[in-house]
């Protein structure tokens, strides 16, 4: 299975290289991050590299999701809808290898876009400040890779789990809004777990954020809050900023255990949808 999955991934990348998708995604990512970081680096506000470097991942947390959705929503559902999947599956392979191949190619593509952009941002920092914090830069690169993988796996997994491209986009866009801008996580999952642990009177709006947790913040929230990949990434980014260079005004960024759990949760957001996609795709009628 794995040899065919690699062949499928390679062919997918050849195909993508000829599409505007790869180059479009890379350009969008650069356009969304470089000017912002450059402005910040050259403004008089952040005179030290630390302040700017701490913010380096923020635009990715906002935009990696949409870029992954655009790059991968059609990865399986599109082939299923057009009929090219019928040709693909006429060769000696199975549905698992098709999904694995697609997950590989789209993950590699998105990692190249994210880490490539991140490399450019590192260059901008060095240009502006003449230096950067190497350990933090590398840790954040790993964090960015995990976050990018989460969105790649989620997008390919959903694409395999549904029958049409429209459904894939609808599910993915809904998840993006729910996990990010709409703060639905706190209003739903955190509220539910809180009611179970703290009693029915629990109000999630009284909780402080994961990056400035206080002594009154319940321990369970430091985990449940990090089950949201966006929150987990922001919290871990805060942790890499402050535990490496201790800062007086931010102490509530959680422990190594909390943040390691958070990163594991981020990776799970890539793995679990792929598993669900595999299960559903494997049982679907492709007629």
Partner 1 sequence: MAAIETAALTKEYGDVRAVDGLSLTVEEGEIFGFLGPNGAGKSTTINVLLDYVRPTSGDVSVLGIDPRERPEAVRARLGVLPEGYALYDRLSARKHVRFAAEMEGVDVDPEAVLERVGIADDADRAVGGFSKGMTQRLALGLALVGEPDLLILDEPSSGLDPNGAREMREIVREERDRGATVFFSSHVMEQVEAVCDRVGIMTDGDLVAVDTVEGLRGRLGAGSTLVVTVDAVPDTSGVEAIDGVTGVTVRDDALRVSCTDPGVKAAVIERVSAAGATVRDIDVEEASLEDLFTEYTGGGTDPGSGAPTEVSEA
Q: Which residue ranges make up the site for partner 1 (CB under 8 A)? A: 1, 4, 7-8, 11, 14-15, 18-19, 82-84, 86-87, 89-95, 97, 283, 285-287
Residue 157: Cβ-neighbour burial (10 angstroms; 0-12, 13-18, 19+):
buried
In 3D, which of 221, 209, 238, 228 has the Cα closest to residue 266? 228
250 phi and psi angles, rounded to 5 deg: -140, 110
Give the number of other CB atoms < 10 A from CB of residue 38: 16
Smallest distance, Å, CB 79 to partner 1? 8
Q: Which residues contact residue 269 at a Cβ distance below 8 angstroms, ignoring those fewer than 6 apart?
A: 150, 151, 153, 154, 229
- Tokens 């009177």 sit on residue: 201
Smallest distance, Å, CB 275 to partner 1? 20
Q: Strand locations in the chain, DSSP E?
A: none
Q: Residue 208 is encoded by which pair of tokens?
A: 């402080």
Rounded alpha-carbon distances, angstroms, from residue 205 to 12, 75, 212, 217, 220: 45, 38, 14, 12, 15
Contact (Cβ atoms closer than 8 angstroms) between residue 72 and residue 162: no
Contact (Cβ atoms closer than 8 angstroms) between residue 150 and residue 267: yes
> Between residues 99 and 125, which has the closer beta carbon with respect to partner 1?
99
Smallest distance, Å, CB 21 to partner 1? 10
In 3D, which of 50, 17, 242, 29 has the Cα closest to residue 119? 29
If you count them, how many residues does the chain have?
Answer: 287
Smallest distance, Å, CB 10 to partner 1? 8
| 3-state SS class at 253 | coil
Q: Residue 273 is encoded by which pair of tokens?
A: 């949808």
> Between residues 142 and 282, which has the closer beta carbon with respect to partner 1?
282
> Between residues 1 and 135, which has the closer beta carbon with respect to partner 1?
1
Smallest distance, Å, CB 86 to partner 1? 4
> Between residues 21 and 170, which has the closer beta carbon with respect to partner 1?
21
> Between residues 88 and 132, which has the closer beta carbon with respect to partner 1?
88
> Between residues 84 and 188, which has the closer beta carbon with respect to partner 1?
84
Smallest distance, Å, CB 101 to partner 1? 10
In 3D, which of 175, 178, 173, 167 has the Cα closest to residue 280? 167
Smallest distance, Å, CB 19 to partner 1? 6
> Between residues 45 and 91, which has the closer beta carbon with respect to partner 1?
91
Smallest distance, Å, CB 153 to partner 1? 23
> Between residues 34 and 89, which has the closer beta carbon with respect to partner 1?
89
């Amino acid at each position: 299975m794995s040899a065919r999955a690699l062949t499928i991934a390679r062919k997918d990348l050849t195909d993508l290289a000829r599409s505007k998708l790869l180059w479009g995604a890379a350009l969008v990512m650069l356009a969304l991050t470089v000017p912002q970081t450059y402005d910040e680096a050259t403004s008089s506000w952040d005179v030290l590299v630390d302040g700017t470097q701490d913010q380096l991942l923020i635009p990715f947390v906002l935009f990696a999701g949409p870029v992954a959705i655009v790059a991968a929503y059609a990865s399986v559902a599109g082939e299923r809808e057009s009929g090219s999947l019928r040709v693909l599956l006429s060769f000696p392979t199975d549905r698992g290898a098709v999904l694995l191949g697609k997950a590989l190619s789209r993950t590699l593509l998105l990692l190249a876009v994210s880490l490539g952009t991140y490399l450019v941002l590192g260059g901008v920092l060095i240009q502006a400040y003449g230096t950067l914090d190497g350990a933090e830069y590398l840790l954040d690169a790993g964090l960015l890779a995990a976050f990018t993988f989460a969105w790649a796996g989620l997008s390919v997994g959903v694409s395999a789990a549904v029958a049409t491209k429209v459904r894939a986009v609808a599910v993915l866009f809904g998840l993006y809004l729910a996990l990010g801008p709409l703060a639905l996580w706190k209003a739903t999952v955190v509220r539910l777990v809180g009611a179970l642990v703290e009693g029915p009177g629990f109000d999630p709006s009284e909780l402080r954020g994961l990056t400035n947790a206080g002594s009154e913040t319940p321990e369970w929230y430091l985990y449940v809050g990090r089950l949201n990949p966006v929150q987990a990434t922001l919290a871990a980014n805060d942790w890499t900023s402050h535990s490496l260079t201790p800062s007086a005004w931010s102490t509530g960024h959680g422990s190594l255990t909390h943040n390691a759990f958070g990163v594991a949760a981020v990776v799970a957001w890539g793995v679990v949808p792929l598993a669900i996609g595999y299960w559903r795709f494997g049982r679907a009628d492709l007629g």
